[in-house]
Amino acid sequence: MPHPEEFKTKTHPELVKTKLDKCDLCHQVKKTDFLFCNDCHHGSASKWTYDPKVKWTTQHAKAVTTNGVAGCLGKCHEQKFCVDCHTKLKPVPTSHKDAKWLRDKLTVTAYGSKAAVASGKHALAAGTAIDSCEVCHGAGGTGSKFCKGCHGMDMPHPDTFKKNHVSGSKTPKLCANCHTFKELCSDCHHKDAKNGVAWAKQHPKAIAAGGAAQCFEKCHEDKQFCVSCHTKLKAVPASHNAKNWTRDLALKKAAGHSTAYKAQTDSCDYCHGTGGVEAKFCKSCHVLPMPHPADFKDTHKADFAAKKLTRKSCENCHNQFFCDNCHHAGSVANQPWRTYHPNLVKKNGAEPCFKCHKPTFCSYCHVRLIH
């Protein structure tokens, strides 16, 4: 006496097995329920403040959760000791009952810069002290039979996963073991995606701003993917509901669909077919070549006479004032030319009328009105 350092740190566990009575002479281990032993083994040696009022089987869970199992294994116990006890008592750590144990809040990839991080508490715990998990779930870390039985693949994802994971679209249930939010995929694959918002609702703004070419660079093979989805859902872009989408009757203002077409020609093709303004869909409404040919101003009079053009076809886009504004100088938008022109003819004479009409044209109408 006193005990040498080697006795304290190495040899005394073996002696205790056969000579506990000798220890009891000084340390009164039996009378104090092994307080002396616990205060060291389950206290300072484990980097824990031992509480003699609480059974060690109860408080060791917090100690292990806080400091890991390294203090238990190697010095006093082998892993089998823990496994045998856990198997016999079938304790389930309180952490495992947490609603966020398997998965927690949505964490996503910041497009092009930062990968998504783990949020499920079991993943965070494994990252901190994987050896604690092995006590019940077996050795091998995330490669153990228990872990792979749930994950179904190597974890964490290997560096090549980003290139090869496209096959995940065929096994969505496997991905859903961890990723219950479709937006996790969306926020990486879809630039300008927003956490927690379904891409089907959000992508119109992104496509309107940046076009659809980005969709086909990595994921979608061709426009038919878009067409099939739009057709199935009967999706109508919000822009198509605008009052001026089909036509804008204000002078020198193009209809909304015309402006959109010039900005992103290919976007129209997804629903209305390829071919631009020559597509069947466009021609069925326009009825004539669009945009108007360069000599349309000079030829449209003859085309009307030959009935190649009709009033009905022009009114698909224009109202009467569009014609009056050019042909009838001085006309106003809110009054018919027939009732408004007498004042202008009295003031300016009828000569401007004869650029388009024969002198007898006026008499056809005026004579009918007299009789």
Token match 């956490």: residue?
A: 195
The pTM score is 0.49
Higher local confidence (pLDDT), 58 or 182: 58
135-154 b/e (C-beta count within 10 Å ≥ 16 → b): bbbeeeebeeeebeeebeee
Region 322-348 average pLDDT? 87
* Interacting residues of 19 by C-beta distance below 8 A, sequence separation 6+: none
User: 370 falls in which pLDDT band (50, 70, 90)?
Assistant: low
Asked if the model's pLDDT at residue 183 lies above 70, the reply is no
Higher local confidence (pLDDT), 84 or 197: 84
Asked if the model's pLDDT at residue 111 lies above 60, the reply is no
Token match 């409404």: residue?
A: 285
Please state the three-class secondary structure of 228-282 as a single string. HHHHHHCCCCHHHHCCCCCCCCCCCCCCHHHHHHHHCHHHHHHHHCCCHHHCHHH
Asked if the model's pLDDT at residue 173 lies above 60, the reply is yes
Phi and psi angles of residue 110, each rounded to the nearest 5 degrees, phi first = -80, 115
Asked if the model's pLDDT at residue 364 lies above 90, the reply is no
Q: CA–CA separation, 74 vs 62, rounded Å?
A: 20
Phi and psi angles of residue 114, each rounded to the nearest 5 degrees, phi first = -135, 130
Least confident interval from 36-40, 148-152, 204-208, 257-261: 204-208
Per-residue pLDDT, 78: 81
Is residue 181 a contact partner of residue 174, using CB atoms and an 8 Å limit? no
DSSP string for 93-131: -GGGGSTTSS--S----BTTTB-----SHHHHHHHH-HH
Per-residue pLDDT, 196: 66
pLDDT digits (tens, 9 = 90+) for 7-18: 777 788 888 888
User: 296 falls in which pLDDT band (50, 70, 90)?
Assistant: very high
Average confidence score pLDDT of the chain: 83
| % pLDDT > 70, the chain | 93
User: 257 falls in which pLDDT band (50, 70, 90)?
Assistant: very high
Asked if the model's pLDDT at residue 295 lies above 90, the reply is yes
Region 282-305 average pLDDT? 89
Asked if the model's pLDDT at residue 47 lies above 90, the reply is no
* Interacting residues of 263 by C-beta distance below 8 A, sequence separation 6+: none
User: 212 falls in which pLDDT band (50, 70, 90)?
Assistant: confident
Token match 């006193």: residue?
A: 2
Q: CA–CA separation, 226 vs 267, rounded Å?
A: 10
Q: CA–CA separation, 242 vs 54, rounded Å?
A: 72
Is residue 119 a contact partner of residue 184, using CB atoms and an 8 Å limit? no
